[in-house]
A and B are shown apart, each in its own frame.
Chain A
Amino acid sequence: MRHGRLMAYTGSPWLMALIVFILTSVYVGTSFGGATYWPFMDFLLKSWPGLVLIALLAINQTAWSVRLVLKRRQPLAAEMDAIKAMDVHEHLPPDSPMKDTAQFARWLRAQGYAPVETSGSLWARRGRASILPGMVLRAGIALSLIALVASVYFVAAGQVLLTSGQKARVLGQEVQAISIDPGMPAEFLQAGTNVRGGFTLDDIKVTLRSGGREFTATGGYPVRISGLYYRIIHLGYAQPANTVRGQDILMLDVLPPGSVSTHEIGGTGAYEFRLAPERTVKKGLVSGGLYDLHTPRYAINPRGGKSEAVVARSGEGFFKLQGMRITLGQAGLYVRLSVVDYPAMPLLKLGLRAMALGLLMMFVRLGWYERRFAATMHEGRLLVGYSEEFYGKWGVFKFRRWMSAPPFTS
Chain B
Amino acid sequence: MIPPTSETRNIQELSPPLRALLSLLLFGCFYTSLNLYPQSGYFAESLAEFDHLPFPLAGAWRDRLLWSDYWTHGMMYALGLLSLAGAFLPLLHPHRWQAARALLAISLIWKTFLLWADFRLWSTNEVIQLVAAGLMVIDPQTCLARVRATLIVLLTGSAINDLYHQGPQFFSILQLLALALWSLVTRWRGLGFGVMAILLFYDGIADASYHTVVLFPMLLLSWDDQPVFPRPSPAHALLGLFLAALTVTMVPHGLFILSPNRVPIEVDLRLKKKDLHYHIRIVYPRSSDNNLNDYRVGIFRFRTAVNDSDSRAEQLLEPLRDQGVVVLGLGLFNQCPECLREPYLYEYYRQELQRRWQPEQLSVEASWGGIPFYQCHDGN
Tell me, yes or no, whether A binds B.
no
